[in-house]
Amino acid sequence: MSGGHVLTDNEQGKGMVNKISVMKGRQSGEVEIATLFGQKFFKFARISWEQHGSRSAGKAATGAILGTVVAGPLGTIAGAAIGGKKKDTSTAYIYLIDDDGVEHEVHVQCTKEQYTQISRIAY
C-alpha cells in the first residue's frame, strides 16, 4: 500500500498502515476508511484499477519436475500449470478528499472483484 499515512491521525501508526477496510460513509459520496489505528471519513472522488499478474518460473519448473516424477509426461504439463499459477498483483488507485478539500491518492493491491466492490461503496 502506498499513501496509507493519510488514512490515520495516529502519529505512531502513520508509517505502519498496510491494510484498510473501505465502508460506506455517513452520507452519499462519502467513505469510511478503517485501519488498525482508527477510522477516518473522506469524500470519495474516484477509483481506477491497473491489472498486473506474475508467474513464478521457479515454481513452474519445480511443479513440472514433480509432475513428471509422479505421473510421467502428462504430469509434466499438469505440474507446470499448477506450479506456475499466476499471482494477482493488481493495484487500485483510490482518490479521496479530506475535510480540508485536499485530494489524496492511495494505492491498494487488490483483485478485480475487490476493485468493483470499492467502486460501488460510496453510492
CA 106 to chain centre: 11
CA distance 53 to 87: 5
User: pLDDT value at position 6?
Assistant: 93
Give the full edge-to-edge strand order of the sheet including 38-50: 21-24, 30-35, 38-50, 91-97, 103-109
Count other C-beta atoms under 10 Å from residue 70's C-beta: 11
CA distance 54 to 30: 34
Domain boundaries, the chain: 4-49+89-121, 53-87
Extract the C-alpha cell encoding 53: 499478474
Q: What are the tens digits of pLDDT across the range 21-45? A: 999 999 999 999 999 999 999 999 9
User: pLDDT value at position 99?
Assistant: 94
Predicted model pTM: 0.69
As separate numbers, helices (DSSP H) first and strands (DSSP E) second, the chain gives 3, 7
Largest interatomic CA distance in the chain: 65
- Phi and psi at 29, nearest 5°, equal 85, 0
CB distance 104 to 1 below 8 Å? no
- Average pLDDT per block of 10 residues along the chain, 123 residues long: 88 88 93 94 94 63 56 52 67 95 94 90 79
